[in-house]
Amino acid sequence: MADEADMAQEFEQRALEHALAYRKKSVHLPPKGICYNCGEPLAEPRPFCDADCCEDWEKRRNAQAQKIF
């Protein structure tokens, strides 16, 4: 018979499997010297100038995928 620790571990494993199955698919964007969102020139090789631009770009991409935008 399973004790509480076994049941908790099983629940945690199922929750992890569910989260992994339904996680957002990330898009790999190669650095192009300017921010993909605002077009600001970047000194470092990265796709966005900051986290806000990255978030804005993802929101716009998701909205376009849902044809809301």
- With b for 16 or more beta-carbon neighbours within 10 A and e for fewer, the 30-69 pattern comes to eeeeebbbeeeeeeeeebbbeeebbeebeeeeeeeeeeee
Q: Give me the count of residues in the chain.
A: 69
pLDDT tens digits for range 46-61: 999 999 999 999 899 8
pLDDT at 50: 92
Which of the four pLDDT bands, split at 50, 70 and 90, describes residue 9? very high
Q: Are 41 and 33 in contact (CB under 8 A)?
A: yes
Higher pLDDT, 68 or 3: 3
Which of the four pLDDT bands, split at 50, 70 and 90, describes residue 66? confident
Higher pLDDT, 40 or 18: 40
